[in-house]
Structure 1
Amino acid sequence: MQGSTQPDDTRAELYVRSLLPDGHTQQQAAILDRLEWLSDADVLSDISVQVIGRQLPSTPAEARTEFGLFALNRVSVFQEWAKRNDCSLEPAFRVRSVDSELSGEQYRALVFPIQLLAEYEGSELRCVTPHTADGETVTVTDRLAMLEGEEEATFAALERAHAPRPPTRSDSPAADALDEDSDPLLPE
């Protein structure tokens, strides 16, 4: 895509759920191939992939790991972007009651979508997919087709959204090093 108008720091974070049946893992591989093509074509300057479990604790107080806090922080920022753009992230995210097989107790968990694409320009969050706008749901596949066709997003960017990498075993930042707005705006 010669002459691309994309800025040098336009990047994507792809969140994928782990432990899915074969059909879904093949779909995720196809999504990754398309993202790599967009990177090779200079539409995106960077791609990162985050593997996430099926569900997260529903509040930061219930998160037991730094990655859990990171993920809840991202969800909060994603939901703020959706609110700013009159979009909804439902049904991609939903809160459900779960029965613990270990303790026998019930708890609330945030179910994460099978795949989610977050696009950034510098530190600004430009788009989160899947989302629903004007009664129509845009899937990750739909959004990739838009990017491949160099369609401009008409969304308002979330300016204070920065995209820190999740903590790894080699670097363990304190939980307060994440966004100060770490209380997610979870659906009821």
Structure 2
Amino acid sequence: MIDHSPDGKAVELWLRSFDPMTAGPAHDRALEFVDRLETRDSIDSVRVGVWGRAFQRTDRVRSIPQLERIETTIASFETWADRTGRQLEPFFRMRHVESKLTGETFEICRLPSIALAEYRGGNVVHVAPSRDGDRTIDVLDRLEALVCGEATDPTLAFDDSSDRSADEQPRRYRRGYPR
């Protein structure tokens, strides 16, 4: 559970699978970093979630708790990206599909094999992978920066000396996912 207290700081790692044939060394390294983060006093909670390769965004999502959690998580990532001017594409891909048999249209969200979210007071303050202009924020690089205490961006770091909250950061345009 993500800490929703006003000052609660949390990290959530999402992995596509624990299958040893598909997980690979990046997952192992990420889990090692998460283990190290759990021992840091500056972080109140750490959570690891598992998601699939993709899911269909439909009203049925609400009837399946795991899919509803993933949908809610992705929506919070999109809100964060809108607020901060970061881009989630191409890591999180949305695709519109139209069935030629039924004429039904729906949206498929393709998920990355590994993702990281940082929360303060239950609000997303950082997502990786993401892009900031031409710069890609990689999950393993971000985890390493958190573990080493080198995450210095005040909107992203778990640093109590931050002068501005994530909500006070300037808004920049980003190409968003259609909803």
TM over 0.5: yes
Deviation of 1:41 after TM superposition, in Å, equals: 3.0
Show structure 1 runs of 5+ residues with no match.
1-6, 160-184
Secondary structure, in 3 states, of the residue corresponding to 2:153?
Answer: coil
Moved more, 48-57 or 106-115: 106-115
AA aligned opposite 2:82? K
Provide the C-alpha distance between the structure 2 equivalents of 1:149 and 1:34, rounded to a whole number of angstroms.
10
Per-residue displacement from partner, 1:152-187 (whole Å, max 9, x unpaired)? 33335259xxxxxxxxxxxxxxxxxxxxxxxxx635
Say what the alpha-carbon RMSD is for the aligned residues: 3.0
AA aligned opposite 1:67? Q
AA aligned opposite 1:136? R
Structure-1 residue corresponding to 2:173 = none
State the identity as a percent.
29
AA aligned opposite 2:177? L
Secondary structure, in 3 states, of the residue corresponding to 2:81?
Answer: helix
Distance 1:75 1:158, change over 3 A: farther
Show structure 2 runs of 5+ residues with no match.
1-5, 156-164, 169-175
TM-score normalised by length of structure 2: 0.71
- CA contact under 8 A between 1:58 and 1:95: conserved in structure 2? no
Distance 1:69 1:35, change over 3 A: same
Deviation of 1:35 after TM superposition, in Å, equals: 1.3
AA aligned opposite 1:52? W
Deviation of 1:143 after TM superposition, in Å, equals: 0.6
The alignment of Structure 1 onto Structure 2 pairs a total of residues equal to 153
Structure-2 residue corresponding to 1:157 = 166
Deviation of 1:116 after TM superposition, in Å, equals: 1.0
Distance 1:8 1:33, change over 3 A: farther
After TM superposition, the runs of 4+ consecutive aligned structure 1 residues lying more than 4 A away are: 97-100
Provide the C-alpha distance between the structure 2 equivalents of 1:187 and 1:143, rounded to a whole number of angstroms.
27
TM-score normalised by length of structure 1: 0.68
Counting only pairs closer than 5 Å after superposition, residues 25-40 of structure 1 correspond to structure 2 as: 25-40=24-39
Per-residue displacement from partner, 1:3-57 (whole Å, max 9, x unpaired)? xxxx973211111112666363432121011111122132422111111111111
